[in-house]
Structure 1
Amino acid sequence: MKASHLFLFLGLLFWSDLFPQTAILEGVILNESQEPVEDVNLFTNEGLGTRSNKNGFYRLELPAGKKINISLSHLSYGKITFAVLLSPGETLEFNPILKVGNEQIEEVIISSEELENVRGITVLQPETIRNIPGANAGVENLLKTLPGVSSNNELSTQYSVRGGNYDENLVYVNGIEVYRPFLVRSGQQEGLSFVNPDLVRNVHFSAGGFQAKYGDKLSSVLDITYRRPVDFGITIDAGFLGANISSEGISKNKKFTYLTGLRYRDNSLFVKAKQTETNFRPRFADAQTNLTYQFSDKLELSFLGNISLNVYDYEPKTRQTNFGTVQDPKALLIYYTGQEEDRYRTWFGATKASYVVNENYTTHFILSAYNTLEQEYFDIIAAYRLGEVNTDVAGENFGNVEYSEAVGGQLTHARNKLDALILNAEHKGSYKINTHQFDYGIKFTHEDIRDRIREYEIIDSAGFSIRPPLPDFQKNEPYEPFEAPLVPYRSIRAFNETRINRVQAFLQWSKRGKIGNHETWTNAGLRSNFWNLDAPPATNSEIVFSPRAQFAIKPDWKPDMVFRISGGVYHQPPFYREFRDFNGNLNPEVEAQRALHLVLGHDYSFRMYSRPFKLTSEIYYKDISKVNPYTLENVRIRYAAENNAEAYAYGLDLRLNGEFVPGTESWLSFGYLKTEENIEEKGFIARPTDQRLKFGLLFQDYVPKVPDLKMYLNLVYNTGLPGGSPAYADPYLYQSRLPDYRRADLGLSYILKNGNSETSFKWFRSFKEVSVGFEIFNIFDTQNSITNTFVRDVYTRVQYAVPNYLTPRVFNLKLGLKL
């Protein structure tokens, strides 16, 4: 790292003291008849206060990170006293009900994180998600700063957790499972995450050992809850990368609420800065809405809908990639002709009915549908030169390719189309008996998939076709002619019609109690999953059972500590892609992959410099059987469609979060991971996601004399992943690693107008908040690589791994408006 870069980083990291950050408590105050109560006085022990309006709505800005006592009073109702403890930037919705003549005193501190900490769930603040800079900003961008979560592709929303692959992570929005496209093979094609950060209220994340109520995956759970509007509002964000607009509102009778978001993104800014010169404009757009209607205090109906369109038009021109060593520099120079046209269209809709039978029993009924239409069409011809680079710094040809060791051409062709329809019907319930809680659920899923694959690749060098170096294709070209007929270097042709029916069910029990003076929390549950695959002429069925348990204890000690142990059996029934092998053919005999989790955790909350901090530590072990091996092509996963391997993963996760700067939440993360697999008893080798070391930093700061000027720093360091292998090759012969991944993104924002403050800009006077931002992606212009392109020099019989580099330093401007 250059000295100037080091000083810049240290200067950012140790920015001077700031003003404390705040949190928001808001909601609607109702009486026992569910009518809004006007002119309720709210006041705190900090001298802060407000009053509810004619709709019963109140909004109170509070200091974050400490316990605040709040009192509600009204001449016609009894007084309410309670306490809250909110995190920096958090917005908590609290809707109290006033009773006539009775004073209500609540001793329990209202905190959104209290129970989640005991369960081993990480809670992330929505405001942090919206502010932290990143090439693909959103929830996943923040997850990548956590220990145990890895990704070496800033253009991708996909992430690996504790050695698992991208297909092993569950994502829920409002308790509804969501899906992602099938055919995407490059982070440049992905576009927008399903989760719209402008609509988010709560973000909960578990990296392993999660409860039985969550579905059947091997690695993690991301559980998102969208906001419940309490007033009208519009938020607009625009920049060089696109624009977002969200709107929310509530009806006069408080029964109907709506939350809507529109997003458009254009990644041309990143693509134009890359090593390949192209005519390329990747465009992504989506519309999302969450509607709720409360028929009564017992019945509520909600709808979650999403429509997204990813358009990826790609016409490459030239590329030069320099690689090798200082002593032996190499370069790959390519001239392209042809183009690629990809389309990914998805529709998702879910209706959820929630019914409160009584104060102890609540039920939910969910119907959802997901449809994706995807196409990948490309014909690209590449003429390449592989040669030596001029290293004479003083010469006119410095950096140019002077001597060609190999020349050749490559033709890649695809006509891939996929149509997938997934239907779900689900019933869930929760029943409380004193300190016991029982949760149950049953879910039916029907998957109907039509998939056509037409791909081939031909490589030609100096007039002859390069064949895979397999025993059946021994040759001594160019000294001896190779007279076999020319065939595609790699060809995949398949058409699959697949229907899969699944029935899932779970039952779990949890209890908060005490052992002596020590607080405890216990959870135990069982999941069952049955599925039947119908892919004429073959069918197959399987049923699995997954017991899981958690136990946590908070000792009655002066140090504030929590100890946790969790684990169980986790199955991953094969999804469509896991049935499909490298040649596109389905193997209906594929069974569920199975993992045994054991997680030991410890939380230590303490105060340092009169500010709150927490150190979270977890060690974990996963024993995985019936493994379905896979390879990674950028972000596309290709499965062997065989349960012919076993694997393991173990590691350590550490996270220190707290107010490094007064009133702001920042954290440092460290993760160590080792994961290996043994394919067909050949011995253990690194899995494609074997990310050994991971460091993450998220840092927030203010300027002392200008509190509206804020800084956000997002830094990630990962050791290199395995570099992959050619499509035809034995992975045991290719165990090299990519270079380490290093990335730092910086965001600066300034609030021009906040609340009722005055501004000299006439256009902004009608807005509640106006902010401007400046972002620097990849501050130090680090040259990270995602995969290797393998090029063979026939004359020397050497195969080179040419790195495919990611985005360089890029600048972005943003404007934010709130009505």
Structure 2
Amino acid sequence: MGTQFRLLALLFLLVGLNVEAQTARILGVVLDEANKPVSDVTVSTADKLTKSDVTGFYELIVPANQKISVEFTHPTLYKSTVTVELEPGENYEFNPVLSSKGETLGEVTIVNNRRRVEGVVAVEPETIRKIPGANAGVENIIKLLPGVSGNNELSTAYSVRGGNYDENLVYVNEIEVYRPFLIRSGQQEGLSFTNTDMVQNVDFSAGGFQAKYGDKLSSVLDITYRKPRQFGAALEASFLGGSVTVDAISKDKKWTAITGVRYRDNSLLVDSQDTETNFRPRFADVQSNITFTPNDKWEFALLGNISQNKYDYEPLTRQTNFGTLNEPIALQVVYDGQEKDQYQTYFAALKTTFKASENLTLKLIGSAYHTLEQEYFDINAAYSLGEVDTNLGSDTFGEVTYSRGIGSQLNHARNDLDAVIVNAEVKGEYKIKQKHNIEFGFKYTREDIRDRIVEWEVIDSAGFSLNPPIVDLPRNDQPYNPYVGPLVPYQNVRAKNFVKINRFSGYAQWSLKDKIGTSEVWYNAGVRLHQWGVSGTNLNSSSQTVVSPRAQFAIKPEWDKDMVFRISGGLYYQPPFYRELRDASGTVIPDVKAQSSVHVVLGHDYSFKMWSRPFKMVSELYYKSLTDVNAYTIDNVRIRYAANNNAKAYAQGFDTRLNGEFVPGTESWFSFGYMKTEENQADRGWIARPTDQRLKFGILFQDFMPKITSVKIYINLVYNTGLPGGSPSYADPYLYQLRLKDYRRADVGFSYVFTEKNAQRPEGHWLKKFEDLSLGFEIFNMFNNQNAITNTWVRDAYTKNNYGIPNYLTTRTFNVKLAVKL
């Protein structure tokens, strides 16, 4: 590796060409409400400005491949803003209409065609910050997209088109980020890595993505943090915690820094659940992105993050009612014991960008991720399973009057994990005549995992200890005959794993923008290669290699209607990460194969105007055929793999999303998805996968009160049909194909924006100091729907029945939020 890095350094030194910043041009005519040209309109970005002439014409050079805000201001008309992201050399025509009324249509966003042809969904950071949610942030909005499932508002995890939580790539500034390993419950997750207040761009692809993205089966979330252009600060505080973000820039504008500090306490949400607890889940992190741009050729960026999650849990009692109207049943539990979990993560990445010429850009990225995790608990649960009195006139109405089963369950764990992941990557991009684009990269990854698992469970039902069905023990027909065999825990996992994984991966891809007749076309073809080796204490070393070809084609006919048609796909592999190598007993299987999937995605993108406002409808039809599938079970957000590659699977479906300005100046959308995914384990037949989410509806809606425009309304609605409810430990999943109830949730936020009419206020007014000052009131789960994430399985020794008792999520909860931006 030392020779390779020396050669790379030599390459950087040899290529010393003079460069010009890649630029594009925005031009047009400024009009008023009567469609007459307006002169002397100041057209400006953060560092450039021009004015419209007597014909209203303006022209402004802007940086390419960057999101730039362009403002149009006039002494007697209200300001208009457009956000552009253009390709190098692109000319974009934009004709703004400035209003003389006391209102503005707000910000309009224009991006280049890259996202349209690649099938990428772009989400505005401002939308992410405003939309309410129990776990607000990027993932909260991603879960509203078609094809994306997230049935746990306490978790940032999501599944895409039949994949599980481990099948999604997440990048921040082109650097892959990771989630903690041991988290088993959404309550324990806390903060997402992504700090929403630092975000500039959010791009999401649900399948058929290009070769430049890594080796996962389902999706890519590509996030870019913004680069400050002036000093600024933002503060947010609510009953769930708070955050502070500071933007800084040096006088010569060569140094910039954006730093965010966050704190979150989920007690407000957890207190609304069935289980009465002494519980204080606390999460905190500090994150910073520092850039240094000494000249037009070089840019250096340092991204760092330190986070700590503390989860102290002492359950007291629980009562969950289930069953039917004719036969209501209640589970009553009294707990003793506690759980203490802690997750500390440290992340740092250095990215160097060298613009060797106008056409050649080279990047060197190095990163390190270190996680220290502990999961300690001793919890004894004494339970009673009984029938509920449904007689309205009874003194015991709603209480348990007859117990059909009693028992106890003792859970113990002393799990520790220490993992270090180090990456070194070289990437390059070369443009040929602004039509051909060549991208390439090489990456080395070393994963060093030290894992100790000590976890057992003892189940007692009606005074009889239950032995696990996987152990060959003498027949137990108590109470008719005494049991003379040994007593063993129902579950007992003990392992100590020291594993090292070395990975070499690389990619090369070619893109072309061209024409066929009068139609614009885009081509993309690429290939990835991934080689990895697993070694460790008492392990037989294993080495495997996979090759992943991928391609995309899009065409935009020269029609009156603005439409793009797209087909994409390829052969995708997911080489196993550590968790996928470890089976249910804690044993590491080093020769687990990479899961493979053939993607085929057909897409249609239609942009149009309705009510003289912009709208877009995007639809995709997809099919995925999976082989060498590593079957798994999901308990809350914990995934347990079989680690045997003995299954095959498929996923098929249709997604569509309509978004636009249903209310002037705001973006809203309606999404719908249908998906079916099944697997066949060891040729036993097809059954639903744990992520088989058939129907999904999502609504994101923004509005304001017509008479009081300072009052904004934000609505987040989700409806998902029920997921498979899982199965008891050691049970055959082919015998348990019942589903949970449908997931229905509505989160609503109201916000009073004090700075709404700052443009009309005189200079010196105290509100002029703020870019934004708002006070909000949020209602989570407004209709108080009972949503379940999984089942707790209770066995009655007499009837031999297993009862699946749903674990319900949060009930209706209220929150108050203050947002300040300078």
Task: Give the alignment's TM-score, normalised by structure 2.
Answer: 0.89
SS at match of 1:303: strand
Are the equivalent residues in 1 in contact too, given 2:410–2:457 (CA < 8 A)? yes
CA RMSD of aligned residues (A): 2.7
Distance in 2 (alpha carbons) for counterparts of 1:232 and 1:760: 20
Q: How far apart in 2 are the matches of 1:737 and 1:107?
A: 51
Distance 1:235 1:375 in 2: 34
Mapped partners of 1:84, 1:140: distance in 2: 29
* Counterpart residue number, 1:187: 186
Q: Residue type of the partner of 2:315?
A: P
Query: Structure 2 counterpart of 1:361, which letter?
Result: L
Could you give the per-residue CA deviations for residues 473-509 of structure 1, whole angstroms, max 9, x where no partner exists?
5432222322211111101000000000000000000
Q: Deviations over 1:104-124 (max 9, x none)?
A: 994566932532111111111
What's the CA shift string for 1:147-206, capped at 9, x where partnerless? 000011000000000000000000001111111100000000000101111011111000
Q: 1:197 to 1:107 in 2, by over 3 A?
A: closer
Shift of 1:70: 4.5
- In structure 2, C-alpha distance between the alignment counterparts of 1:95 and 1:699, rounded to whole Å: 28
Counterpart-to-counterpart distance in 1, 2:445 and 2:778: 43
Pick one of 574, 583, 586 that aligns with 1:584: 586
Identity value in percent? 59
1:683-737: per-residue Cα shift (whole Å, max 9, x none)?
1100000001101111110111222211110000000000001121111111100
CA distance in 2, matches of 1:761, 1:323: 61
Partner of 1:176: 175
Q: Deviations over 1:457-476 (max 9, x none)?
A: 00112322012356945432
Corresponding letter in the other structure for 1:802 = I
CA deviation vs aligned residue, 1:269-328 (integer Å, no higher than 9, x gap): 011111111000001111111100001110010001111110000000000000000000
Aligned to 1:324: 323
Alignment check: 8 A CA contact 1:83 1:107 kept: no
Distance 1:620 1:314 in 2: 43
Q: SS state of the match for residue 116, structure 1?
A: helix
**Alignment of structure 1 residues 315-714 onto 2, 5 Å:** 315-434=314-433, 435-469=435-469, 472=472, 474-537=475-538, 538-714=540-716
520 and 43 in structure 1: CA distance in 2 versus 1, 3 angstrom threshold: closer
Q: Which amino acid aligns with 1:166?
A: Y
Cα 1:610/1:758, change in 2 over 3 Å: closer
Supply the distance in 2 between the matched residues of 1:437 and 1:56 (Cα, whole angstroms): 29
Amino acid at match of 1:498: V
Q: Partners in 1 of 2:613 and 2:249 — Cα distance?
A: 38
**What is aligned with 2:782?**
779
Counterpart for residue 745 of structure 2: 743
User: Residue 111 of structure 1 aligns to a residue in which SS?
Assistant: strand
Between the aligned partners of 2:130 and 2:682, the Cα distance in structure 1 is 47
CA distance in 1, matches of 2:425, 2:781: 44
Pairing of 1:42-441 with structure 2 (within 5 A): 44-46=30-32, 49-50=41-42, 56=47, 70-71=58-59, 92=83, 106-107=91-92, 111-434=110-433, 435-441=435-441
| Structure 1: distance between partners of 2:379 and 2:264 | 26
Provide the rounded CA distance (Å) in 2 between the counterparts of 1:711 and 1:665: 12
Residue type of the alignment partner of 1:772:
L
**Closer, same or farther: CA 130–113 of 1 in aligned 2, 3 Å:** farther
CA offset at residue 615 of structure 1? 1.3
Instruction: Measure how far apart 1:89 and its partner are.
Output: 12
Q: Does the 8 Å CA contact 1:213/1:439 hold for their aligned counterparts?
A: yes
Q: Deviations over 1:36-58 (max 9, x none)?
A: xxxxx9994455944779x9477
Change (3 A) 1:303 1:471: closer
C-alpha distance in 2 between matches for 1:138 and 1:584: 34
Structure 1: gaps (5+ residues):
1-31, 35-40, 61-67, 74-81, 98-103
Q: Decide which moves more: 478-487 or 549-558.
A: 478-487
Alpha-carbon spacing, 1:201–1:70, altered in 2? closer, same or farther (3 Å): farther
**Structure 1 residues 519 and 305, CA gap change in structure 2 (3 angstroms):** same
Deviations 1:32-82 (A, max 9, x none): 999xxxxxx9994455944779x947799xxxxxxx974459xxxxxxxx9
Residue 657 of structure 1 aligns to a residue whose secondary structure is strand
Query: Within 1, Cα distance between the matches of 2:349 and 2:656?
Result: 37
* Structure 1 residues 630-658: Cα deviation after superposition (integer angstroms, max 9, x where no partner): 00010011100111100000000011111
Q: Which moved more, 1:44-53 or 1:392-401?
A: 44-53
SS at structure 1 position matched to 2:442: strand
The Cα shift of 1:761 comes to 14
Q: Secondary structure at the match of 1:191?
A: coil
CA distance in 2, matches of 1:107, 1:766: 34
Asked if 2 retains the 8 angstrom alpha-carbon contact of 1:42 and 1:50, the reply is no
SS in 2 for 1:282: strand
Over 3 Å counting, the alpha-carbon distance change for 1:615 and 1:401 in structure 2 is same
Amino acid at match of 1:222: L
Aligned to 1:5: none
Task: Tell me the TM-score normalized by structure 1.
Answer: 0.89
What SS does the aligned partner of 1:495 have?
strand
Residues 464, 139 of structure 1: alpha-carbon distance in 2 compared, 3 angstrom cutoff:
same
Once the two structures are TM-superposed, the CA of residue 95 in structure 1 deviates from its matched residue by: 12
Residue type of the alignment partner of 2:487: L
Kindly provide the amino acid, as one letter, of the partner of residue 564 in structure 2. V
Residues in 2 aligned to 1:795 and 1:285: alpha-carbon distance in whole angstroms? 48
> CA 1:59–1:623 in structure 2 vs 1: closer, same or farther (change >3 Å)?
farther
Look up the match of 1:716. 718
Distance in structure 1 (CA, Å) of the matches to 2:115 and 2:85: 18
* Equivalent-residue separation in structure 2 for 1:582 and 1:622 (angstroms): 27
Tell me the SS of whatever aligns to 2:141: helix
Structure 2 runs not aligned, ≥5 long: 1-18, 22-26, 33-37, 62-67, 73-78, 95-108
**Equivalent-residue separation in structure 1 for 2:617 and 2:252 (angstroms):** 45
**Cα distance, 1:613 vs structure 2:** 1.5
Structure 1 counterpart of 2:4? none
Which of 769, 772, 785 is matched with 1:769 structurally? Answer: 772
The offset of 1:559, in angstroms, is 1.2
Return the alpha-carbon distance in structure 2 between the equivalents of residues 116 and 286 of structure 1.
32
Contact kept in structure 2, 1:83 and 1:106, CA below 8 Å:
no
Which amino acid in the other structure matches residue 467 of structure 1?
A: N
Q: Which residue of 2 aligns with 1:12?
A: none
CA distance in 2 between counterparts of 1:90 and 1:791 reads 59
Please report how far the alpha carbon of residue 227 of structure 1 lies from its aligned counterpart in structure 2 after TM superposition.
0.8
The 2-side partners of 1:675 and 1:206 are apart by 19
Is contact 2:446–2:500 with CA below 8 Å preserved after alignment? yes
Q: For each residue in 1:307-351, what CA deviation from the matched residue of structure 2 results, as whole angstroms up to 9, or x when unmatched?
A: 111000000000000000000000000000100000000011000
CA distance in 2, matches of 1:467, 1:618: 49
Counterpart in the other structure of 2:16: none
**Alignment: residue pair count:** 759
Structure 2 CA distance, aligned partners of 1:568 and 1:670?
Answer: 25
Contact 1:714/1:744 (8 A) holds in 2: yes
Cα separation, 2, equivalents of 1:578 and 1:179: 15
| Equivalent-residue separation in structure 2 for 1:510 and 1:714 (angstroms) | 37
| CA 759–742 in structure 1, closer or farther in 2 if over 3 Å, else same | farther
Pair 559,265 (structure 1): closer, same or farther in 2 beyond 3 Å: same
CA distance in 1 between counterparts of 2:396 and 2:472 reads 43
Q: Secondary structure at the match of 1:705?
A: coil
Q: Secondary structure at the match of 2:116?
A: helix
Pick closer, same or farther for the CA change 1:33–1:677 going to 2, 3 Å: closer
